[in-house]
Amino acid sequence: MSTPVIGVLALQGDVREHLVALAEADAQARPVRRAEELAEVDGLVIPGGESTTMSKLAVAFGVLEPLRERVRAGLPTYGTCAGMIMLANKILDGREDQETVGGIDMIVRRNAFGRQNESFEAAVDFTGVDGGPVEGVFIRAPWVESVGGDVEVLATHEDHMVAVRQGQVLATSFHPELTGDHRVHRLFVDMVRGA
């Protein structure tokens, strides 16, 4: 599998930016909206956007259960920001009826870093990414409030966990797809190749 096929969940959010970043990181990238499309990919990215809307659309498109099943079965998956929220087994400050896919034994707090106008950028040291810190773009970003014993913490910002991995599932509070630096996407593509 030298060029893995990686889907980007295309219900809502910054899908196009991830498609570009994945292609530049040597994957074959394609949008995924339906269960049949999900069945064809070697890995999946859940983009940034608005997790409450994404949750609703995942139910409406009948893709929530298939997503849960494939992630549970070991599909390499990477979520950024709203995508991180979708990969949390439990969330805080979510909407009452908000569903997640789950996959990482963590509790994620939505909008933890504040409102839209408190969005910021910061250099983030990222375990497993060589070549110096990555530029973290945080937009109404969540943080990871707590993790279970099998979760590896890959990055923190001011004592808050902002990048984590459990098995084949990776999540960041911030948006590497919005910078020209695709090292985090390369890390994920390597995870998919190794899976």
Q: Closer CB to ligand GLN, residue 42 or residue 85?
A: 85
CA 183 vs CA 24, 72, 134: distances in Å: 10, 26, 8
* Contact between residue 54 and residue 15 where contact means Cβ atoms under 8 Å apart: no
Catalytic residue among 17, 18, 99, 175: 175
CA 37 vs CA 44, 67, 97, 103, 148: distances in Å: 11, 11, 26, 20, 31
Q: Closer CB to ligand GLN, residue 82 or residue 171?
A: 82
Query: At a CB cut-off of 8 Å and minimum separation 6, what does 112 contact?
Result: 93, 141, 142, 143, 145, 160
* Contact between residue 37 and residue 12 where contact means Cβ atoms under 8 Å apart: no
Q: Closer CB to ligand GLN, residue 48 or residue 76?
A: 48
**Least distance from ligand GLN to the Cβ atom of residue 52, Å:** 6
Contacts with ligand GLN by CB under 6 A lie at 48-51, 81-82, 85, 110-111, 139-140
Rounded to whole angstroms, how far apart are CA atoms 121 and 188? 22
Catalytic residue among 81, 99, 182, 185: 81
Tokens of 54: 């994404």
**Least distance from ligand GLN to the Cβ atom of residue 129, Å:** 20
157 has catalytic annotation:
no
Q: Closer CB to ligand GLN, residue 50 or residue 190?
A: 50
Q: Closer CB to ligand GLN, residue 44 or residue 139?
A: 139
The conformation of residue 180, written as its DSSP 8-state character, comes to S
Catalytic residue among 17, 18, 177, 185: 177
**Least distance from ligand GLN to the Cβ atom of residue 164, Å:** 16
177 has catalytic annotation:
yes
175 has catalytic annotation:
yes
**Least distance from ligand GLN to the Cβ atom of residue 49, Å:** 5
**Least distance from ligand GLN to the Cβ atom of residue 50, Å:** 5
Q: Residues with catalytic annotation?
A: 81, 175, 177
